[in-house]
């Protein structure tokens, strides 16, 4: 049976690769998933294995499907960052 450190390391490598492919920072990943950016770093370094709810949050933040019959019907709605900008209004005040 694989040692949990080996599993955590592989998971962290996969997480970092997918995050970089999505072109998002650890901070943005944290925002989208509802996790702190330091938690993202800990997971990417393989220092910890995520809980099931964390897996759902990470998958949603990355926009990847996380399919498992045991988790059917459960999902996480990721937060969305929007960029500010100017807009015209009719008021001259």
Q: What is the pLDDT of residue 19?
A: 95
- Note the CATH number of domain 4-71: 1.10.260.40
> How is the chain split into domains, by residue range?
4-71
pLDDT at position 88 over 80: no
Q: What is the pLDDT of residue 66?
A: 75
Q: Tell me: the pLDDT tens digits for 14-61?
A: 999 999 999 999 999 999 999 999 999 999 999 999 998 999 999 999
Question: Nearest 5 degrees, angle CA 28-CA 62-CA 36?
Answer: 40
pLDDT at position 89 over 50: yes
List, in order, residues 6 or more apart from 29 with CB less than 8 Å away. 19, 35, 37, 40, 58, 61, 62
Higher pLDDT, 79 or 47: 47
pTM of the predicted model as reported, rounded to 2 decimal places: 0.76
């Amino acid at each position: 049976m694989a040692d949990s450190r080996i599993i955590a390391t592989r998971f962290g490598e996969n997480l970092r690769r997918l995050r970089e492919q999505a072109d998002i920072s650890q901070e943005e990943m944290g925002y989208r998933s509802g996790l702190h950016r330091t938690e993202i770093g800990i997971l990417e370094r393989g220092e910890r294995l995520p809980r099931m709810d964390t897996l759902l949050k990470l998958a949603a933040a990355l926009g990847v499907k996380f399919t498992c019959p045991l988790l059917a019907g459960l999902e996480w709605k990721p937060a969305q960052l929007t960029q500010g900008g100017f807009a015209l209004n009719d008021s001259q005040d």
